Amino acid sequence: MNTIAIRKTNLSEQCYEVIRGQMLEGGRYRPGEKISVERMTRELGVSRSPVWAAINRLSAEGIVEVRPRDGVFFIGFDARHLKDLFAVREELEAMAARLAASRLAAAGCAIDDLEASLERQARAVAAGDRESYAREGSAFHGILVGLAGNAALADTLTRILSQIRAMCHARVVMSGFQEDYLADHRAIARAIAAGDAGAADAATRAHVRRLVAEL
């Protein structure tokens, strides 16, 4: 069994980042799977305390469920809950796109981070690297949320996006629609760069609806 190197500084935060990455990006756990906290502590080479601190944060985000006397479980696939999450995501992410377009237009800011993300996505699509595309596609949405400049919106939407990623990671990786998703992302970025809040809203809604239809 491999042991992951964890530095002693900011131990709890590092454990959280590693465990969260395994859950959302590594495809390590199946929906509804029971998670061994003891195994995590051995792999990370740390005590139970920072691992449980990470688990509690992930529970607050809705990524895991802690059941008293039963254990810790990865979020299960729930079609109705997923539909609800996407409905809220559409409204909030469209709002984020509108805010980003308006804010960047007023400040005269560039969208360098979005453009760099698009380049990484294009490379992943060209290479047929679905895992990398899934990771970079998720990062694009995180950048978009950050550009909105609204901390409350970012907190809420990040939680929703994390739950969707947890339930849909395998489906996104196996999807054959990466080129379509990239085209959607480019349309969103163009609208934001142009300062067109209405177009940014429409492009974002179209993208989310495509995800719902194709997942």
Residues 86 and 106 in one domain: yes
Q: Where residue 187 falls among pLDDT bands split at 50, 70, 90?
A: very high
Of 74, 90, 106, the residue that ends a domain is 74
pTM: 0.83
CATH code for the domain in which residue 105 is found:
1.20.120.530
Assign 3-class secondary structure to 76-145: CCCHHHHHHHHHHHHHHHHHHHHHHHHHHHHHCCCCHHHHHHHHHHHHHHHHCCHHHHHHHHHHHHHHHH
Residues 107 and 88 in one domain: yes
The last residue of one of the domains, among 74, 92, 120, is 74
CB atoms within 10 A of CB 43: 18
- Domain-embedded: residue 1: no
- The fraction of the chain above a pLDDT of 90, given in percent, is 70
> Does position 2 have pLDDT exceeding 90, yes or no?
no
Q: Among the three residues 74, 89, 118, which one is the final residue of a domain in this structure?
A: 74
Instruction: Give the CATH number, domain containing residue 49.
Output: 1.10.10.10
C-alpha distances out from residue 192 to 110, 112, 144, 203, Å? 10, 12, 9, 10
Domain that holds residue 128: 79-214
Cα–Cα distance, 50 to 191 (Å, whole number): 42
Residues 148-186 pLDDT 10s: 999 999 999 999 999 998 888 766 656 678 899 999 999
Contact present, 154 and 146 (Cβ < 8 Å): yes
What's the domain count of the chain? 2
Q: Is residue 33 part of a domain?
A: yes
pLDDT of residue 141: 96
- Calculate mean pLDDT across residues 122-151: 93
Q: Are residues 112 and 195 in the same domain?
A: yes
pLDDT in tens, 25-61: 767 888 889 999 999 999 999 999 999 999 999 999 9
